Amino acid sequence: MEQTDAIAALSALAHPGRLGAFRLLVKAGAAGLPAGEIARLTDSRANTLSTNLTILTHAGLVSSRREGRSIIYVADYDSMRDLLAFLMEDCCSGEPAICAPAALLTEQAAACGAKTSC
């Protein structure tokens, strides 16, 4: 991932409405959510939300498909993973003893232990 792409993704997420919408979509999984439902759940106006979903889309964090009159938005897990990987990329080369991914890995392993593929 390029620094430019990382900055686009980080600025897209650095906004209350967009971060809220994105996390909602992360929870929603592959089924996604229609724009109107996101607007209702995040308590935002249709036009403002639409602008924000466009920003998330351009940053590669979500994608969308039309279904009848609704447009369904879905989180893009791959680009989210790329962003996280970019942020921790050089962590190990410095001080392995305080390596963030290692600690994170342990926490996640514990948290996801009961789930099927985590």
- Amino acid at site 95: E
Q: Which stretch binds a copy of itself (CB under 8 A): 1-9, 33-41, 46-54, 65-73?
A: 1-9
Question: Which of a copy of itself, DNA, none does residue 103 bind (CB under 5 to 8 Å by kind)?
Answer: a copy of itself
Q: Hey, how many other C-beta atoms are within 10 angstroms of the C-beta on 115? A: 7
Strand 70-75: give its sheet, edge to edge: 33-34, 70-75, 62-67
Q: Does 88 bind a copy of itself (CB under 8 A)?
A: yes
What phi and psi values does residue 67 have, to the nearest 5 degrees?
A: -140, 100
Give contact residues for a copy of itself (rule: CB under 8 A).
Answer: 3, 6-7, 10-11, 13-16, 19-20, 23, 26-30, 77, 80-81, 84-85, 87-105, 107-109, 111-112, 115-118
